[in-house]
Amino acid sequence: MSEEIKASEEQALDQTPKPWYKRLSLTTWIFIALVLGVIAGLALQGTPEIADTYIKPLGTIFLNLIKMIVVPLVIFSIIAGVISLEDVKKVGTIGGKTIAFYLVTTAFAVTLGIVFANVMNVGADYVLPAEELSYEAAAAPSFIDTIVNIFPSNFVQPMASATMLQVIVIALFFGFGIIGVGKKAKPVADFVNSMSDVCIKIMHYIIAIAPFCVFGLITPVVANNGPDVLLPLLWLIVVAYLAMIVHMALVYSGLIKLVAKKSVLGFFKSIAPVMGFSYASASSVGTLPLNMSCTEKNGVSREVTSFVLPLGATINMDGTAIYQGVCAIFIAQVFGIDLTIGQQITIVLTAVLASIGTAGVPGSGMIMLAMVLQSVGLPVEGIALVAGVDRILDMMRTVVNVTGDSCVANCVDAAEKRKAAKKVAA
């Protein structure tokens, strides 16, 4: 009888109306924080040091916590995902599909950027500043060096420096080893699965404070980069943002509808918190834990998210590819250089290869742009023209990057589930 009373009391408590602030979703809170951050940033334009000193630390603390959990989350999640597949060949199949999707969407992205930049005449009305332009291009690693550097020579160093491609390789080899040993490795497999669950729980705790940190990240950006910086290059920002939005609306919506066979609105609704946070943080790796959580809630299996999303956060750069295409045409038009169709095709190919070749390199967006400009003989000094608004462009290209990661995860998961269903039917 006492148990029945206790159950009825718990039911009554569940039916108690929640306070209004608890009824709002994480997505709503993140976008409220974005709006408030923009308003606060505009109000603090005259004194940006206040935003940098007292508000920015909120975002910095959050990013530090994300960086703390992202390496153990990736390594344990990937190992757990590999173990759950129980077959090295299956890992190869998923990896092949993932890389194919990433390369194709990146090629579409940079092509779309070039088309928009040409049609909308992105650099025609921009006047070169009187002062001399100067920009020193950072040295990009060669393709062979990139391949060699994927494989770590030290177990600890990649984790300490968060070199994600090397962390992924370490996780894959340990996952393969556990599968190869079989039953003897069961205690290790149990430990890995438990640690994966622990990392995910910690991630949820950190994500719970995301709105406060979004406010802390966006406010100093607006305070330091007011309209005085944005207005001269406003058309470049408009063209780049429009191309990125169209890419998400056409390419990602098409893949979700045709390949994943899911609701497009449902997909974007599930990924909205990720888009909001990535816009404020401008960090694909920093957004990874939230992206994994939201993508799994949209029905994607953990073994797919644990492999596809970390890899995407490292090498999938659709938004950055659009940025390369738009900025290359912008710089060409500003300097009065007419690019042939062949040169524009070269830009597409270079941007696609550079998206992998500069993976994990700090400031990879600028390095990629330098490589693209050099591939068609455009002046690298032109990067100085867009450097002032790079942060504004980086925010939106990060949104596209992480949305593309989730889209590909949904597509790969759907393809694997259809494949499994066919085997069962046969």
CATH label of the domain that carries residue 350: 1.10.3860.10
Is the Cβ–Cβ distance between 62 and 206 less than 8 Å?
A: yes
Residue 13 lies in a domain: no
Residue 173 lies in a domain: yes
Predicted confidence at residue 132, as pLDDT, reads: 44
State which of 132-141, 199-208, 295-304 shows the largest mean pLDDT.
295-304
Predicted confidence at residue 362, as pLDDT, reads: 46
Residue 18 lies in a domain: no
Residue 306 lies in a domain: yes
Residue 10 lies in a domain: no
Predicted confidence at residue 56, as pLDDT, reads: 87
Question: Can you say whether residue 336 is alpha, beta or left, with left for phi > 0 and alpha for psi between -120 and 50 degrees?
Answer: left
Predicted confidence at residue 130, as pLDDT, reads: 46
Look up the domain containing 219 and give its range.
25-425
Residue 140 lies in a domain: yes
pLDDT at 20 over 70: no
- The count of domains in the chain is 1
Sorting pLDDT into bands at 50, 70 and 90, what band is 9? low
What is the model's pTM? 0.75
What is the arithmetic mean of pLDDT over 382-404? Answer: 84
Give the length of the chain. 426
Predicted confidence at residue 23, as pLDDT, reads: 64
**How far apart, in whole angstroms, are the C-alpha atoms of residue 103 and residue 424?**
31
Predicted confidence at residue 230, as pLDDT, reads: 65
Residue 162 lies in a domain: yes
Residue 220 lies in a domain: yes
